[in-house]
Amino acid sequence: MGITLHLLLHSDRDPIPDVPAVYFVMPTEENIDRMCQDLRNQLYESYYLNFISAISRSKLEDIANAALAASAVTQVAKVFDQYLNFITLEDDMFVLCNQNKELVSYRAINRPDITDTEMETVMDTIVDSLFCFFVTLGAVPIIRCSRGTAAEMVAVKLDKKLRENLRDARNSLFTGDTLGAGQFSFRRPLLVLVDRNIDLATPLHHTWTYQALVHDVLDFHLNRVNLEESSGVENSPAGARPKRKNKKSYDLTPVDKFWQKHKGSPFPEVAESVQQELESYRAQEDEVKRLKSIMGLEGEDEGAISMLSDNTAKLTSAVSSLPELLEKKRLIDLHTNVATAVLEHIKARKLDVYFEYEEKIMSKTTLDKSLLDIISDPDAGTPEDKMRLFLIYYISTQQAPSEADLEQYKKALTDAGCNLNPLQYIKQWKAFTKMASAPASYGSTTTKPMGLLSRVMNTGSQFVMEGVKNLVLKQQNLPVTRILDNLMEMKSNPETDDYRYFDPKMLRGNDSSVPRNKNPFQEAIVFVVGGGNYIEYQNLVDYIKGKQGKHILYGCSELFNATQFIKQLSQLGQK
């Protein structure tokens, strides 16, 4: 499009009367007012208005009236509803737009004092984004959801919205995919709507894969990680000052081959791979230096002349690969810095110990040490780490601890500096959902300690992994993945047998029954109402690797790490 200047809508902008302007905005009252003001002020030559989600007729009339009053009707060149009210973080992952993060958060949906009107607003916001997603995808899904949850409310509203759009043949957004065409197509995707409350342990879990760890322990938002790096001790007349922190940002994008290859790998593997990449880069760099020095030999030297013809081609090749080499160096530096920052957290907080212990709790494996010992250990983790561990234990255990035991745990947690509000909420939640009789199952044990990472501990390694266990992950399905597997493969399972079934293409509007011809789905979208995380995303990615020809997309109303989630639980516990 040749756009040369990007400006925020509400910034102070000077008139540029001979230039066309492209607007890309949400159709909010505030934004519409500002656009009308721009028309009145004759800021630009022509206006191309792109709305992220569909604009209402009344707001469109406001713009038309402003254009009429400003004699700028002919200058409004195009008006588009773009249906892009979601953010794609990966090729197979999306979240709702984050301006309304608070509105659609887990806390907002589960507030005990939420009114029906407020709940309707939350659900409408989620449905609007999901509708945009399916318009962009160009497909009408089959919808499945659990009963009696916020996910069911979303399913009912989304089914109604899709159905209404399909009925309006002239204005249907699903062109070529209308009510008659493709009604019996088996390539339609499955949309599985799950409620965050089916599994509260996973968002609190200490993880062991690279991307999920970066999100858990660092400042990682919209694929950008922000690090604080020390710039060394400053000398001054008053003596040495403490190190000054420099803030650095790195974008972890699809063009970053190392990130794409290793974001789902266990952390010790990542540390080892960074080291190998560094050694490979140094070898290539040394080869270029060696060739340069040979080329610089005296011309009379017979050895140099005979080597010249052999090495000219090599040097030409080496020089042409220089940009690639520099890019490789940039990525190595980036991941060395990011992985080092992650490793500092692992060592300081003993995150490997937490990860292994939580895996044992969630998979009902025999515990090798007492939970009380870890909570009471001043060197093991932050107060938040201890609270996360205890909440996972409390959620996952079949038999809730006795009042006496619970008091003992609460005292240990308080002594460790923990805020008990999240526990207060989880107690209420567990009682309400009767989870005590049927806690979420997390499959069998998933980790095997393999001793220390001997290869990473080579002399000269960037990563001293001493004291950190090399835990090897075995694939196991988390509750969300297990639900998807049941529904995608049309398996009969008590966990999902009563899930509701909606087909917006069917003429009958009521809850249609699951068709008898149980053909498995090839494409599926899992959407978590109440928030998701990279642990679940990675679990789904690993699951689908073994399913040839099948594709999964993971979406959530918000993407939070354990710190952000525990803060919401704490706010709910204060009520």
Residue-by-residue DSSP string for 210-225: HHHHHHHHSEEETTEE
Average of per-residue pLDDT across 18-25 = 94
Q: Are residues 93 and 172 in the same domain?
A: yes
Same-domain check for residues 499 and 521: yes
Task: Please determine, for residue 79, whether its predicted confidence score (pLDDT) is greater than 60.
Answer: yes
- Does residue 503 sit within a domain? yes
Q: pLDDT by residue (tens digit) across 292-325?
A: 676 665 444 545 545 555 656 666 666 666 778 8
Q: CA–CA separation, 100 vs 110, rounded Å?
A: 16
90 shares a domain with 74: no
- The sign of the torsion formed by the CA atoms of 527, 530, 536, 537 equals positive
Q: How confident is the model at residue 434 (pLDDT cuts 50, 70, 90)?
A: low
In a domain, 466, yes or no: no
Residues 52 and 107 in one domain: no
Cα separations in angstroms, 519 against 134, 429, 484, 514: 22, 37, 15, 11
Element (H, E) at 192: strand 190-195
Report pTM: 0.86
The verdict on residue 216 lying in a domain is no
CATH number of residue 178's parent domain: 3.40.50.1910
409 within 8 A of 376, measured Cβ to Cβ = no
Range 212-238 average pLDDT? 79
User: Which contacts qualify for 237-246: CB closer than 8 Å, 24 or more apart?
Assistant: none
Structural domain contains residue 77: yes
> Computed from CA positions of residues 114, 440, 445, 553, in that sequence, does the dihedral angle turn out positive or negative?
negative
User: Do 94 and 190 have their domain in common?
Assistant: yes
| DSSP-assigned letter for residue 467 | T
Chosen domain end from 56, 81, 106: 81
Same domain, yes or no, for 70 and 152? no
Look at residues 223, 270, 215, 228 and name the one whose alpha carbon lies nearest to residue 251: 223
pLDDT tens string 439-455: 466 665 445 444 333 33
CA distance 400 to 30: 50
Quick one: pLDDT at residue 516?
66
**Looking at the domain assignment, is residue 46 inside a domain?**
yes
Contact present, 157 and 121 (Cβ < 8 Å): no
Residues 280 and 328 in one domain: yes
Look up tokens 């809850």; give the residue: 511
- Residue 562 and residue 533 in one domain: yes
Average pLDDT, stretch 487-503? 91
Q: 197-231: buried (b, 16+ CB within 10 Å) or exposed (e) per residue? A: bbbbbbbbbbbbbbbbbbbbbbebeebebebeeee
129-148 mean pLDDT: 93
> Which pLDDT band, with edges at 50, 70 and 90, does 184 fall under?
very low
Quick one: pLDDT at residue 466? 60
Under the banding of pLDDT at 50, 70 and 90, the label for residue 243 is low
Q: pLDDT band at 548, cuts 50/70/90?
A: confident
pLDDT at 182 over 70: no
Q: Quick one: pLDDT at residue 575? A: 62
Q: What angle separates helix 116-137 from helix 150-167, to the nearest 10 degrees?
A: 50
Q: Are 189 and 524 in contact (CB under 8 A)?
A: yes
Residue at 320 is within a domain: yes
Mean pLDDT of the chain: 84
CATH assignment of the domain containing 76? 3.40.50.2060
Single residue among 81, 108, 128 that ends a domain in this structure = 81
Cα separation, 164 vs 421, whole angstroms: 44
Same domain, residue pair 94 and 195: yes
Whether 466 contacts 436, CB under 8 Å: no
- Kindly state whether residues 191 and 115 are assigned to the same domain: yes
Name the helix (H) or strand (E) containing 433: helix 421-433
Measure the CA–CA gap between 49 and 36, rounded to whole angstroms.
Answer: 11
Residue 310 included in any domain:
yes
Structural domain for 304, as ranges = 267-346
What is the number of domains present in the chain? 3
- Cα–Cα distance for residue pair 20/310, rounded to 1 Å: 57
pLDDT digits (tens, 9 = 90+) for 375-415: 999 988 999 999 999 999 999 987 888 889 999 999 999 99
Of 81, 102, 136, the one marking the end of a domain is: 81
User: Mean per-residue pLDDT for 83-99?
Assistant: 90
Q: Which is nearest to 543 in space by CA: 443, 472, 457, 412? A: 443
218 within a domain of the structure (yes/no)? no
For residues 274 and 182, membership in a common domain is answered with no
Residues 73 and 161 in one domain: no
Locate 201 and state its tokens.
């342990």
